[in-house]
Amino acid sequence: MLMGKYEMGRRLGEGHFGKVKLARHAETGRAFAIKILDRQRILAMKIDEQIKREIATLKLLKHPNVVRLYEALKGKLTEKEGRKLFQQLMDAIGYCHEKGVYHRDLKPENVLVDAKGNIKVSDFGLSALPQNQRKDGLLHTTCGSPNYVAPEVLLNKGYDGSMSDIWSCGVILYVMLTGNLPFDDQNMVVLYQKILKGNAHIPKWLSQGAQDILRKILDPNPITRIDLDGIRAHNWFKQGYAPAVPFNDDEDISMSEGSLNMTEHNGIQGNIAINQINAFQLIGMSSCLDLSGFFEKEDASERKIRFASNHSPAYLFEKIESIVRKMGLQVHKSNGKLKVIQDCKGPANSRGLESLLVSAEVFEINESLYVVELKKSSGDCSLYRKLCETLSEDLGICKSQQLLKQDSIKQEIVRYNSSF
């Protein structure tokens, strides 16, 4: 059995959340121990944050007497699923390039997916326009995310923004199809050396077409690297390809699009900022395809609770403020959140109660579905539970409606449920 770059061997042990197997690196032959975690069990026990913290901690530790974490493997999409997203990504980037816009920070976190599985490229904070080019017609600012940056960007000799974007899209495609990064290392110097060499390991279990297009995109030489026209003409890319049609300048995007974008409808409503949800984060927040965890108590300590609502964000914030004030609590608005406070300090606090501090935040899933997230920083647990029950009863979706909403979301994201 092959898992990424590792050939799996005998079982070494088994724990509460998974098992450990002996593995051999396919290229070097070096032996490793691979810990395989039961994702369903982890999500059911609400310890996913603990696992993430363990991974982040182990990445920092490099000592002969401490276990070393070399790599964390993630899930992948089927070629059909990955191709569809990649086709849309190429349409988006091609359109940007035609307008003279070069993104320069393309990575999965900046590729959002709406409720219908259509991608939306976001975060143009590092983008460049034609006026940013020097007299040689090239860009010279070194920017981007380390694992996704093109080799020519690292050389500081100037680069073509369109070809560097193509490289980054190739890395994204590799991640979608394999669940791994083509170039990765904890040492930044070593990572950049790998990128400059461009010797990415292309798994043999991918189709010949997928292997070929990945090799042509991840060509470290921008002159010989396949360009957008070449990608669109590639046989693997052309399968089921239906090019997207850009909007007219005078077209009403919100009406003509016919589908909901998780970012286009986010913004300022009243004085409250509505938060954006990255579609990969949405999938990660769910318990695989069971979204019950997305709409109810989030952890055993009851510090975080979510519930779904059909009410608009402006109405939700107004009602939350009204309800908590009736409960004798204080409300403060700050950075798109409501902070609920019960100040129990001073001589009046004869019961020795701990001051309650709760934040309320609203996330938009689509134009008729929102999620309210309540997080307790400190304070009386019984009062916090009462607050959560009151708000969810008054503002949340009833159980039957909630199940219908979950089913509709499941149908839309089932093809894209992975561990991004």
Whether residue 123 is predicted with pLDDT greater than 50 in this model: the reply is yes
Question: Of all residues in the chain, what percent carry a pLDDT higher than 90?
Answer: 22
Break the chain down into helix, strand, coil percent, rounded to 5: 40, 20, 40
Whether residue 298 is predicted with pLDDT greater than 50 in this model: the reply is no
Sequence-distant (≥ 6) Cβ neighbours of residue 60 within 8 angstroms: none
| Residue bearing the bigger pLDDT, 414 or 10 | 10
- State the average pLDDT for the chain: 75
| Residue 341 to residue 353: CA distance in whole angstroms | 13
3-state secondary structure (DSSP) of residue 269: strand
So what's the pLDDT on residue 1? 67
- State pLDDT tens for residues 345-390: 544 444 444 567 888 887 765 556 677 878 777 777 777 788 888 8
So what's the pLDDT on residue 350? 45
For domain 268-416, the CATH architecture is 2-Layer Sandwich (3.30)
So what's the pLDDT on residue 212? 97
- State pLDDT tens for residues 194-251: 999 998 999 999 999 999 999 999 999 999 999 999 999 999 999 999 888 887 655 5
Residue 289 near residue 414 (C-beta atoms within 8 A):
yes
Tokens of 124: 């143009």
Residue 295 near residue 282 (C-beta atoms within 8 A):
no
So what's the pLDDT on residue 173? 95
Q: Which of 105, 160, 165, 219 is catalytic?
A: 105
So what's the pLDDT on residue 125? 82
So what's the pLDDT on residue 355? 64
CATH topology classification for 2-60 = Phosphorylase Kinase; domain 1 (3.30.200)
Lowest mean per-residue pLDDT among 189-198, 280-289, 384-393: 280-289
Q: 0.75 cut: is pTM over it?
A: no
| Edge-to-edge strand ranges of the sheet holding 2-3 | 2-3, 6-14, 18-25, 31-37
So what's the pLDDT on residue 367? 57
The pLDDT confidence band at residue 2, using thresholds 50, 70 and 90, is low
So what's the pLDDT on residue 414? 41
So what's the pLDDT on residue 345? 55
The pLDDT confidence band at residue 396, using thresholds 50, 70 and 90, is low
Average pLDDT over residues 395-416: 47
The pLDDT confidence band at residue 303, using thresholds 50, 70 and 90, is low
The pLDDT confidence band at residue 296, using thresholds 50, 70 and 90, is very low
Lowest mean per-residue pLDDT among 139-148, 293-302, 395-404: 293-302
160 is an active site residue: no
Whether residue 118 is predicted with pLDDT greater than 90 in this model: the reply is no
Sequence-distant (≥ 6) Cβ neighbours of residue 162 within 8 angstroms: 97, 102, 227, 228
So what's the pLDDT on residue 351? 46
DSSP notation for 32-71: EEEEEE-HHHHHHTT-HHHHHHHHHHHHH---TTS-----
Range list of β-strands (E), 267-392:
268-269, 272-273, 304-309, 330-334, 337-342, 356-366, 369-378
Q: Where are the domains of the chain?
A: 2-60, 79-238, 268-416
So what's the pLDDT on residue 103? 92
Whether residue 318 is predicted with pLDDT greater than 70 in this model: the reply is yes
Whether residue 151 is predicted with pLDDT greater than 60 in this model: the reply is yes
Class of domain 79-238: mainly alpha
| Residue 278 to residue 263: CA distance in whole angstroms | 8
So what's the pLDDT on residue 9? 87
Whether residue 336 is predicted with pLDDT greater than 70 in this model: the reply is no
Whether residue 168 is predicted with pLDDT greater than 90 in this model: the reply is yes
| Residue 205 to residue 216: CA distance in whole angstroms | 18
- State pLDDT tens for residues 47-60: 777 887 887 788 77
The bridge status of strand 369-378 relative to strand 111-113 is unpaired
Which residue is it, tokens 């996330």?
363
